[in-house]
Chain A
Amino acid sequence: MNVLRNLDRRVIYVLLFLLVLYPLVKPMGLPVSVGPWTQGSFDYINNLKAGDLVVVSFDYSSGGAPDVDPQAVVVVKHLFKKGVRIVGTAFVDQGVLFANKVFDAWQKQGKKPGVDFVNLGYLAGGETAVAAFGNNPLKAFPKDNNGNDTASMPIMQGVKTAADFKLIAAFATGAPGPSEWVRQVVTKYKTPYMAGLVTVMAPGAEPYLQSKQMIGLLAGLRGAAEYETALKEPGTAAAGMDAQSMGHVVIIVFVILGNILYLLDKPKKAKA
């Protein structure tokens, strides 16, 4: 017990590193069930028709990207598989890096810019920029990320306000997040909205789900893995779930061990 009492934190670090690394090298293939938050998003997108127009907003930075980027990747995949047209935006400066990566990959697979999708790039201003986009997307983004005139693009014909989109799927690691989108766009234009968030943000966004201001929510890497499972196309997120499981188990074991020591030492401390 004394060994445990005096355990160096570096031992904990090494144990965690090895146990999280192991399933990445040798996958365990643990099953991932699809939760109600993810199912809501999947069902809504699955019922969209070819030619429908949706917004995918890449509002995340590179720090939270391992949690959120797989969500955006799998949702864009589903949308394109359905033949849905995508208007890509970024209201966080680094978001445009990820938008470029996703759309460039699809362009190589034959999707046409200006017709099947448009990457509008980054607009500064956070919540104000979201409001400006909702009011008039063409005025907010007169040019796309490559400097092309958006008003003349086939994909933007008939777009006057955010009400002209069938869905807004916004992936965020902070602001603008659900609160900003709900305040500035969902309440005003009644556009259906789903969010993809880092895990820690998800509990705070749940009230919007119950009030039906959000049609679905993907929470962290788990949300992406659930979506991949629902789409029956396991990808990077599903592969990462084994490692996340091991991380959770290690933390739980440490909490139990820590508390056993605490309860054993408690009477001694009380006597002293």
Chain B
Amino acid sequence: MKRELPLGITAVVGFLFLVQYFFKIAILKSMTDELTDWGTIVSAFAALLAAAGLYKIHLEKIARRKGPWEMSIVLVLVMTAFIIFGVFLGQKSAPYLFLSNQVLVPLSAAIFSLLIFYIGSAAFRAFRLRNLEAGLLLGSGFLVMLGRAPIGEVVWKKFPVIADWLMKWPNLAGNRGVLIGASIGSIAIGLRILVGIDRGHLGQD
């Protein structure tokens, strides 16, 4: 029963959504609308569960002095501060805004922008003209970079035109292929889950 009940619920709910998407049946629509709302409520609880899980993991690390446990102290303190300021003082309170706008946003942006240093180093050490395929990648990369940056346009007016062509034809064709492949894969996986062949969502292979 432990396996059959979840499989049955998955199949019934899945087919409800599938039928409702293609046919306009009022009662099915009200049922799927309700279930969609349940989805958002469950997601909100999942966020709470994730926060509780994070606390558990890091408090255990601190208690056992395991790994970089000092970082866990920072995480627990900042998370607690965010929760206290957000819940009790509100999202527009000065402490919450300070933590968000002066700490979280600049630090996240700094981490993201560190990428340029790794890209610069990788460009010098790894991006090599080893064969025809690598040459094509190198050439198209050059042209798109120059076409997308204003300096390329200053050097030669045709760089943006070439970059647009590369994006509009070869890139589009490749991405469309990936998209269609992924969509067919999703349909296949969806069907396997609906009929109970794929049981990964139940925690089994």
Contact = CB atoms under 8 A, between A and B. Distances in A.
A228 to B, nearest CB: 13
A235 interface: no
A132 B124 CA distance: 48
Does more than half of chain B's interface fall in helix, strand or loop, or is it mixed? helix
A161 B150 CA distance: 41
A100 interface: yes
Interface in B144-183: 145-146, 148-154, 160, 164, 167-168, 171-172, 175-176, 178-179
B108 A61 contact: yes
Given A13-B121, A244-B149, A262-B129, A63 B112 contact: yes
A174 interface: no
Contacts of A101: 101
Contacts of A255: 123-124, 127, 138, 141-142
A257 B111 CA distance: 27
Nearest to A64: B112
A258 B128 contact: yes
Contact of B124 (A126, A241, A258): A258
Contacts of A207: 172, 175-176, 179
Interface in B15-67: 21, 33, 36-37, 39-40, 42-44, 46-47
A112 to B, nearest CB: 17
B36 A206 contact: no
B150 A16 contact: no
Contacts of A74: none
A15 B139 CA distance: 24
Contact of B148 (A7, A140, A248, A259): A248
Contacts, number: 163
18 contacts: A7-B124, A15-B120, A16-B117, A17-B117, A65-B105, A97-B100, A97-B101, A124-B40, A124-B46, A128-B40, A207-B175, A245-B149, A245-B152, A246-B151, A248-B152, A250-B120, A251-B120, A254-B123
Interface of A: 7, 9, 12-13, 15-17, 20, 30-33, 35-36, 61-66, 93-94, 96-97, 100-101, 104, 123-126, 128-129, 131-132, 135-136, 139-140, 145, 188, 203-204, 206-207, 210, 222, 241-242, 244-252, 254-255, 257-259, 262-263
Given A128-B36, A249-B149, A254-B123, 14 more contacts: A33-B150, A62-B104, A63-B111, A93-B47, A97-B100, A100-B91, A125-B39, A125-B40, A139-B37, A188-B21, A248-B148, A255-B138, A259-B127, A263-B129
Q: Which A-B residue pairs are the 7 nearest by beta carbons?
A: A128-B39, A125-B43, A62-B108, A30-B150, A245-B151, A125-B40, A254-B124
Interface of B: 21, 33, 36-37, 39-40, 42-44, 46-47, 91-92, 100-101, 104-105, 107-109, 111-113, 116-117, 119-121, 123-129, 138, 141-142, 145-146, 148-154, 160, 164, 167-168, 171-172, 175-176, 178-179
